[in-house]
Amino acid sequence: MKTLKLNSGHDIPIVGLGTWRAQPEETEKAVHTALEAGYKHIDTAFNYNTEESIGEVVKKWTKEGKTKREDLFITTKLPHVGNRPKDVGRYLQMSLERLQMNYVDLYLVHMPFSFLGNPETHAPLTNEDGTFRLDVDNDVIGTWAEMEKQVEQGKAKSIGLSNFNLEQIEKICLSCKIKPSVLQVEHHAYLQQPDLVERCKKLGIVVTAYSPLGSPGANQHFSSKYNYELEDFPDILGHPTVGNLSEKYGKTPGQILLRHITQKGIVVIPKSLNPKRIKDNIDIFDFELIDDDIRMMNDLDRGEKGRIFDFLFFKGVEKHPEYPFKQRLTVDGEKISQL
């Protein structure tokens, strides 16, 4: 498995298995299939409710001598309800207990904004009108200092950020002792963010692409869980350019999308519960897109209009001072989702 070197000195496998929206039993099966297929990297979060299942499979595999913990790369994330200095250690400890591990390879601040949460269920609290109860006092720099302590205590090998914009990343880089190793952001053919990627490269931060296939099925989830839908949800896997390249290279559309991203030195974490697709998604190292085809894929970028995860399904989140995608809300004064 190809890896990239992090500024912490550790290596991150360039393909990992995503686990968002997977039920516990499905997760166990998918992680098992993935480990058999050669995956070493699994992505989870406190909020996904997949940590326990991942922990079970890893425990079984290590007990049976089929893998060693140190050969795996496990990422989890500090939730939006725990995004404040005093909660960092507590939430990481809860994740470690769920994972049955004494360290994670990568701990990410899941989002720059924070909500007040129910202390029992860890669900965000809402107001009577359905808006989320914002914690506007969150201290981003203080939270990062606590993230650094997790490295010093050996509970996280590397630390990083997710869904932060460039300005927020640079602010942390100016005051930190330990630089973020990874930025995990939405990245696919329709949202390529070349400036952000370039800047991260200069800062020595590895980018991980979430939703690298365009997250088919996410709109249904937004609708059933939050009664929120994106107009014109994209079908990136079905784009004719991707189809043509799929025929040309004798690879699936998914493999073309993942190859395009990894060939730029970006990590991908596609989620699948389907054994064939789990295997296909890691089988992308026996071909290379030629420059003209890379350019054709680069041309699919729609900029901010390509963003799926603007988090507006958290009703009222755009009023949080750390909401990262303000430019998403309007283009020339018009709401972008109406364009």
Ligand X SMILES: NC(=O)c1ccc[n+]([C@@H]2O[C@H](COP(=O)([O-])OP(=O)(O)OC[C@H]3O[C@@H](n4cnc5c(N)ncnc54)[C@H](OP(=O)(O)O)[C@@H]3O)[C@@H](O)[C@H]2O)c1
Please enumerate in sequence order all residues whose Cβ is within 8 A of that of 337, keeping only pairs 6 or more positions apart, or say none.
230, 231
Q: What are the φ/ψ torsions at residue 176 (nearest 5 degrees)?
A: -85, 160
Q: How far is CA 154 from CA 67, 91, 93, 96, in A?
A: 21, 15, 12, 12
Stretch near ligand X under the rule CB under 6 A, chosen from 14-22, 92-100, 151-159, 194-202: 14-22
CB of 238 to ligand X, least distance (A): 10
Closer to ligand X by CB, 156 or 174: give it: 156
Intra-chain end-to-end CA distance of the chain, in Å: 41
Between 24 and 334, whose beta carbon lies closer to ligand X? 24
Known catalytic membership, residue 48: yes
Nearest to 58 by CA among 71, 45, 76: 71
Measured CA to CA, the distance from residue 215 to residue 220 in angstroms comes to: 11
Edge-first strand order for the sheet with 41-43 is 41-43, 73-78, 104-109, 156-162, 182-186, 206-210, 267-268
Q: In the complex, what is the shortest distance from the CB of residue 18 to ligand X, in angstroms, rounded to a whole number?
A: 2
Cβ distance to ligand X smaller for residue 177 or 225? 225
Binding to ligand X, residues 268-287 (CB under 6 A): 269-274, 277, 280-281
Residues 117-176 that bind ligand X (CB under 6 A): 162-163
When the beta carbons of 55 and 154 are compared against ligand X, the nearer one is 55
What are the DSSP calls for 6-73, one per residue?
A: -TTS-EEESB-BB-TT--HHHHHHHHHHHHHHT--EEE--GGGT-HHHHHHHHHHHHHTTS--GGG-E
The answer to whether 28 contacts ligand X (rule: CB under 6 A) is no
Per-residue interface string for the shown chain with ligand X, residues 47-86, x marking contact by CB under 6 A: ----------------------------------------
Which one of the listed residues 48, 107, 210, 323 is annotated catalytic? 48
Stretch that binds ligand X, among 18-26, 55-63, 198-206, 227-235 (CB under 6 A): 18-26
Q: Residue 43, interface with ligand X (CB under 6 A)?
A: yes
List, as one string, the DSSP characters of 275-305: HHHHHHHH--SS----HHHHHHHHTT--GGG
Give the tokens for residue 280.
Answer: 């296909």
Applying CB under 6 A, the span of 61-69, 144-152, 267-275, 328-336 interacting with ligand X comes to 267-275
Q: Is residue 184 involved in binding ligand X (CB under 6 A)?
A: yes
| Minimum gap (Å) between residue 213 Cβ and ligand X | 3
- Nearest distance in Å: CB 188, ligand X: 7
Q: Which x/- pattern, by CB under 6 A, does the window 190-229 give for ligand X?
A: --------------------xxxxxxxxx-----------
Residues with active-site annotation: 48
Residue numbers of the site for ligand X (CB under 6 A)?
18-20, 43, 110, 162-163, 184, 210-218, 237, 252, 254, 269-274, 277, 280-281, 309
